[in-house]
């Protein structure tokens, strides 16, 4: 197993806790704000944070020309698609359930790595994908059967996790010589325009929240999530093996489930617990270290 340094461990714990708590925090903000308004605030805040950081530290803002194509696809997946689909779906789903559906991302990474990186699908990974998809199917069936279910929202949340995984696989291809903050600036520039276009076309309602809970959700996102958390997550993606970043994403929906019950009084249904257990088992199967063959003897 790879050794995690203190810095990476600190980023790991912070991302798990802060992103997990953010699911009910987003729910609070979206109770008053149109999701186009909310996400536009977030993207603008993230862009300002990283530009200010680079200017203060003298970090280059430019991106080499040969990386523009990869950056455009990454930005559209990680910034545009993720932020639009997840926020729209969250307005129709409990925060805990939304987190479970979105953070199936490691399962999608396994499939995408087979397509884009040529990695072999081992029996344990095939079993993990089957179990994880079974958990997703439980939630989707339950949404179709519930009187107030939102099957379209559930599918949107799964799609956001899939596109997020596409962006992660591509993001790993950037050379370490390009600072993470520079990559984040261009991610928000290239991925932010669909959100600002949506704001101009579909944004409505109040531009600022009224209730203290909605203010807390908005400020938590613009000050913490789209500054520190996005930077920390992408630092982990670039610095650590996929199994470590996968474990971090696995823990997020568990924290989201618990914080949704504590902050919003959500009461998960039995299928939620079964699906969560299935996804946990699936990702553990995907991320467990492979045993090395012992057929070659020394000497």
CA torsion angle 210 267 253 73 (round to 10): -60
The pLDDT score that the predictor gives to residue 18 is 95
292 part of a folded domain = no
In the predicted model, is pLDDT for residue 292 greater than 60?
no
The pLDDT score that the predictor gives to residue 296 is 43
The DSSP letter of residue 92 is T
Instruction: Please report which confidence band the pLDDT of residue 16 belongs to, taking 50, 70 and 90 as the band edges.
Output: confident
The pLDDT score that the predictor gives to residue 69 is 96
CA angle 227/29/97 to nearest 5° reads 90
Instruction: Please report which confidence band the pLDDT of residue 293 belongs to, taking 50, 70 and 90 as the band edges.
Output: very low
46 part of a folded domain = yes
Q: Which structural domain, as residue segments, surrounds residue 131?
A: 6-287
Distance of CA 75 to the CA centre of its chain: 13
The pLDDT score that the predictor gives to residue 144 is 63
Please report the DSSP string for 155-173 in residue order: HHHHHHHHHHHHHHHHHTT
pLDDT in tens, 79-129: 999 999 988 888 887 776 777 777 777 778 777 877 776 767 778 777 877
In the predicted model, is pLDDT for residue 295 greater than 80?
no
The pLDDT score that the predictor gives to residue 154 is 82
Higher pLDDT, 77 or 122: 77
297 part of a folded domain = no
Instruction: Please report which confidence band the pLDDT of residue 229 belongs to, taking 50, 70 and 90 as the band edges.
Output: very high
**Whether pTM exceeds 0.85:** no
1 part of a folded domain = no
267 part of a folded domain = yes
Rounded to the nearest integer, the mean pLDDT of the chain is: 83
293 part of a folded domain = no
How many domains are contained in the chain?
A: 1
The pLDDT score that the predictor gives to residue 3 is 52
Distances (CA, A) of 283 to 18, 89, 122, 149, 207: 21, 23, 14, 26, 39
Higher pLDDT, 260 or 84: 84
Q: What would the mean pLDDT of 34-48 be, rounded to a whole number?
A: 96
The pLDDT score that the predictor gives to residue 218 is 97
Most confident of 53-67, 252-266, 272-286: 53-67
Check: CB of residue 159 under 8 Å from CB of residue 85.
yes
The DSSP letter of residue 65 is G
299 part of a folded domain = no
The pLDDT score that the predictor gives to residue 126 is 78
The pLDDT score that the predictor gives to residue 291 is 52
294 part of a folded domain = no
Structure tokens that stand for 160 in this block: 């956001």
Instruction: Please report which confidence band the pLDDT of residue 188 belongs to, taking 50, 70 and 90 as the band edges.
Output: very high
Longest dimension (CA), the chain: 74
Higher pLDDT, 272 or 59: 59
Q: What would the mean pLDDT of 56-64 be, rounded to a whole number?
A: 95
């Amino acid at each position: 197993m790879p050794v995690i340094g203190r810095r990476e461990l600190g980023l790991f714990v912070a991302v798990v806790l802060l992103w997990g708590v953010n699911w009910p925090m987003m729910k609070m903000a979206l109770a008053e704000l149109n999701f186009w308004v909310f996400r536009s605030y977030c993207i603008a805040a993230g862009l300002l944070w990283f530009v200010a950081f680079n200017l203060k530290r003298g970090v280059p803002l430019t991106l080499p020309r040969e990386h523009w194509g990869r950056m455009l696809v990454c930005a559209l997946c990680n910034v545009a698609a993720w932020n639009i689909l997840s926020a729209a779906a969250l307005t129709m789903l409990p925060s805990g359930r939304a987190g479970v559906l979105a953070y199936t991302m490691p399962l999608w990474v396994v499939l995408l790595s087979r397509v884009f990186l040529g990695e072999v699908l081992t029996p344990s990974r095939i079993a993990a994908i089957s179990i994880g998809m079974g958990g997703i199917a439980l939630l989707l069936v339950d949404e179709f059967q519930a009187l107030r279910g939102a099957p379209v929202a559930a599918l949107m949340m799964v799609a956001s996790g899939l596109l997020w995984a596409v962006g992660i696989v591509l993001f790993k291809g950037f050379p370490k010589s390009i600072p993470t903050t520079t990559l984040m600036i261009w991610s928000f520039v290239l991925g932010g325009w669909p959100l600002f276009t949506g704001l101009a076309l579909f944004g409505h309602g109040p531009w600022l929240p009224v209730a203290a809970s909605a203010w807390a959700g908005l400020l938590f996102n613009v000050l913490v999530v789209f500054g520190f958390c996005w930077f920390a997550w992408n630092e982990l993606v670039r610095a650590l093996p996929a199994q470590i970043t996968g474990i971090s994403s696995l823990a997020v929906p568990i924290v989201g489930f618990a914080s949704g019950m504590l902050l919003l009084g959500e009461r998960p249904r039995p299928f939620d617990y079964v699906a969560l257990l299935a996804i946990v088992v699936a990702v553990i199967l995907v991320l467990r270290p492979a045993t090395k063959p012992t057929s070659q003897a020394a000497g």
